[in-house]
Chains A and B, each alone.
Chain A
């Protein structure tokens, strides 16, 4: 009886979380960024001295300059930070503190319980269009340490507010590639270029390519229009999140994901 009541409580809690998050209690971008309900990861100054701190810092370097510090595993011009904004800290840009506490978990993408390192391998295979770093590699150890550090003090197993991407309600009219192109030209091309190629400075990539050979492949999370729409809505244009309407976000996501990009890699390479 006690057990049954308990499980009913848990069920209710889960339902509440599903219903309330993440659209439920959302305000403007500033409210979202400052809201007291949003988890605040520890600050840089708190990174301890010694081997753990070194590993955390290494993880951050890999995270922000992936092509430079994890070259062998990267197949395009993106970095982890291209999507996980503010060095993996920004709410609704798949923050690391939101992800770390949810693993291990079952994912319908591959029908198994994944650990965080397997999830990160997926990022490299799909979003980075590259090769998954082995679980025992220095790259993986550093990225895990960085994620672990950032989630310090976050409740485990809970979907925190700001976790993942915003799931946008279905638009009034179904997403239109044609309308999306207009939005792209007006609001996105300044940084990402008319051909989605991004932009460089002195030979280095600055604005990430959003389609084409050097962008994420068709296995990536952002290849789902709904997910990209949620990302765009809350984060784009950079510093002006929540200025596109829901419909514009859906339309531009449909346009970007209708453009050519590398195919989904076929077989899962175990490592």
Chain B
């Protein structure tokens, strides 16, 4: 009896393990959703704002997402869906994404590659310098650690849940700091970013956004 059961479990296990074709099809489906949506009402294609290669759209502040950890991308989509992450545009788009759709696009974009797309207008060297100071040394008088202490050296991210911010567009970065400070962006673990964004001054928020947008994004090497 026991052996029959174990045999059954073993067989079930073998069947349940997705083969390489399973992973490939998830990737294909992710690309399809990115390119054309999932076919359901409201199912906008991701590429309309994030581009097919995930470079985003600096002019409208749509973030680059290529090479972000898949766990991070999936989490952010879920948080928007649940209303914990303020995202007036995304909120309408993600409602009809199934759990599998979310896994698929997260996988697809985590492996996508895109160069840094230029921000609109030139950057301000004085702001970049001030931003660099906060980014690398923090502003401990107000209990603000250096950004790189959690987002990694150069802002390259610490997988799986701390996204890279280097090379991200400046409009998006500033908008997120504002959303953490004043709007309903509440998906940050332990409220870490909400506290930090609130304690930064407006000029400091602009400065760190300016600094990280002036950097090159990481070349993807995260699993």
Query: Which B135-169 residues have a C-beta within 8 angstroms of A?
Result: 137-138, 140-145, 149-150, 152-153, 156-159, 161-162
Across-interface contacts of B142 in A (CB, < 8 A):
30, 33-34
Across-interface contacts of A241 in B (CB, < 8 A):
143
Bound Cα distance from A271 to B162, whole angstroms: 42
Assuming the A-B contacts A86-B138, A190-B189, A240-B192, are A201 and B143 also in contact, with contact meaning beta carbons closer than 8 angstroms in the complex?
A: no
Across-interface contacts of B145 in A (CB, < 8 A):
85-86, 238-239
Assuming the A-B contacts A206-B153, A207-B158, are A240 and B190 also in contact, with contact meaning beta carbons closer than 8 angstroms in the complex?
A: yes
Query: Which A152-198 residues have a C-beta within 8 angstroms of B?
Result: 187, 190-191
- Minimum CB–CB distance from A203 to chain B (whole Å) comes to 8
Q: Closest residue to B193 on the A side, CB-wise?
A: A239
Are B152 and A201 touching (Cβ within 8 A)? yes
Are A202 and B141 touching (Cβ within 8 A)? no
Are B158 and A206 touching (Cβ within 8 A)? yes
Assuming the A-B contacts A30-B142, A190-B161, A202-B218, are A238 and B189 also in contact, with contact meaning beta carbons closer than 8 angstroms in the complex?
A: no
Across-interface contacts of B221 in A (CB, < 8 A):
202
Q: Which one of A29, A202, A240 contacts B152 once the chains associate, using CB atoms below 8 Å?
A: A202
- Minimum CB–CB distance from B27 to chain A (whole Å) comes to 23
Q: How many A residues touch B, CB cutoff 8 Å? A: 25
B215 lies within 8 A of chain A by Cβ: no
Bound Cα distance from A56 to B223, whole angstroms: 39
Q: How large is the interface on B (under 10, 10 to 19, 20 to 34, 35 or more residues)?
A: 20 to 34
* Overall SS of chain A's interface: mixed
Q: Which one of B137, B153, B159, B190 contacts A190 once the chains associate, using CB atoms below 8 Å?
A: B190
Are B195 and A201 touching (Cβ within 8 A)? no
B196 lies within 8 A of chain A by Cβ: yes
Across-interface contacts of A87 in B (CB, < 8 A):
137
A125 lies within 8 A of chain B by Cβ: no
Bound Cα distance from A271 to B37, whole angstroms: 68
Across-interface contacts of A190 in B (CB, < 8 A):
161, 189-190
Across-interface contacts of B158 in A (CB, < 8 A):
199-201, 206-207
Are B190 and A33 touching (Cβ within 8 A)? no
A50 lies within 8 A of chain B by Cβ: no
Bound Cα distance from A33 to B150, whole angstroms: 20
- Minimum CB–CB distance from B63 to chain A (whole Å) comes to 19
Chain A window 85-101, contacts with chain B (Cβ cutoff 8 Å), 1 for yes, 0 for no: 11101100000000000
Assuming the A-B contacts A30-B143, A199-B158, A206-B158, are A239 and B192 also in contact, with contact meaning beta carbons closer than 8 angstroms in the complex?
A: yes
Are B152 and A206 touching (Cβ within 8 A)? yes
Query: Which A192-220 residues have a C-beta within 8 angstroms of B?
Result: 199-202, 204, 206-207
Chain B contacts to A: CB under 8 angstroms: 137-138, 140-145, 149-150, 152-153, 156-159, 161-162, 189-192, 195-196, 218, 221-222
Chain A contacts to B: CB under 8 angstroms: 29-30, 33-34, 44, 85-87, 89-90, 187, 190-191, 199-202, 204, 206-207, 237-241
What 7 pairs between A and B have smallest CB-CB spacing? A201-B152, A86-B140, A201-B158, A206-B158, A199-B158, A190-B189, A238-B145
